[in-house]
Amino acid sequence: MKKQTIIIITVLTAGITASFLIWNLNSVPAITYFPTDKQTSFEYANTNLDMLSEKTVDTYEVLWNISSKSDRTLYLRQDASLLFVNGVLRGIRSKWEEDTAGIEIKEKLSGEDSSYFQSISYHHGEVHYPDDRIKSIHTMTYDQLYVIDSPNTPLESFKVPKDDYETQWSTLLIHTTHQQLLYSWKQLINHFQINNESYLAVPLTRLYKYNHEPLPSFTQDQTNQIIGQLWEGLYKNYILTAKNIEEGEQLNSYIPIILFDKQNKHLIVLYELNGEKHRLIQQYPDFDD
């Protein structure tokens, strides 16, 4: 009982000392959705979170790695990734290159205390054809990492629990994170007076499942277009806005929630940046042939 109490107190009071990671995005072009190119694909796309080592007695290092490669050189390749720790935004990375196939981003960050790391990435490529025809490819990847930093046990990490001990820890970390997120999302829904029963609610970190699972009442191709245009809006309104927050000011933001209209007309993105509540509404498109 005493050990359980220590575990709960440790999680509830956990602080993350990871530096807030926002890439200098001044020269990064906007992500723009174009009709899907059926002749081009990704050879691979990955997001990986791994604990490297115990940095000091009180801290550890985590490697955040994003990589992707298209099956041929494209006019423009771009990857964007978001990292959340215990549901709180702790990093944004974006990289673009012209006339290339591959993109790789690596970042080390320090953390302390038991934590639940989640990262979702959007991998994008523009394919330019003669007569100014432009098409695109895109996919999403996700990874998670549980780090257990308890005073009574050795430091350890895992992605999927393999025994009762890890299952108890993952359940505790997910529960405390989810309770915090539910409170944040409820505040946003009430603020904008949204009837949540009219929407399918999906956290941003769960969007990757729609790589191969269509949204209700839509085909996979239509879903791909909805998600592609959603990321176009997320990049412009969430990622770049977060970057533009005054330098030196600590950024506070939880995982955004995506609301898909059950009448199949539009979607809403709800998020908060440093106490300011935002709502992004996107009408569903006229779908590509």
pLDDT digits (tens, 9 = 90+) for 89-108: 999 999 999 999 999 999 99
DSSP collapsed to 3 states, 145-199: EEEECCCCCCCEEECCCCCHHHHHHHHHHHHHHHHHHHHHHHHHHHHCCCCHHHE
> Which range has the worst mean pLDDT, 60-69, 202-211, 225-234, 238-247?
238-247
Domain ranges of the chain: 2-176, 181-283
What's this model's pTM, rounded to 2 decimal places?
0.88
Indicate if the pLDDT at residue 8 is higher than 80: no
Percent of the chain at pLDDT above 70? 87
User: How many Cα atoms within 13 Å fall on the side-chain side of residue 116?
Assistant: 22
* pLDDT of res. 174: 97
User: Distances in Å between the alpha carbon of 7 and those of 115, 148, 149, 152, 161?
Assistant: 12, 10, 10, 9, 17
Q: How confident is the model at residue 132 (pLDDT cuts 50, 70, 90)?
A: confident
Indicate if the pLDDT at residue 18 is higher than 50: no
Indicate if the pLDDT at residue 22 is higher than 70: no
Indicate if the pLDDT at residue 29 is higher than 80: no
Token pair of 65, please?
């790695």
Nearest Cα neighbor of 157 from 81, 149, 165 is: 149
* pLDDT of res. 287: 78
Indicate if the pLDDT at residue 136 is higher than 60: yes
* pLDDT of res. 288: 62
Amino acid, res. 18: A
* pLDDT of res. 17: 39
Indicate if the pLDDT at residue 284 is higher than 80: yes
Indicate if the pLDDT at residue 40 is higher than 80: yes
* pLDDT of res. 286: 81
* pLDDT of res. 242: 82
For strands 60-85 and 115-129, give the pairing.
Answer: antiparallel
Length of the chain: 289
Q: How confident is the model at residue 79 (pLDDT cuts 50, 70, 90)?
A: very high
* pLDDT of res. 248: 56
pLDDT greater at residue 245 or residue 288: 245
The string of pLDDT tens digits covering residues 119-130 is: 999 999 999 999
* pLDDT of res. 56: 66
pLDDT greater at residue 288 or residue 147: 147
The string of pLDDT tens digits covering residues 194-212 is: 999 999 999 999 999 999 9
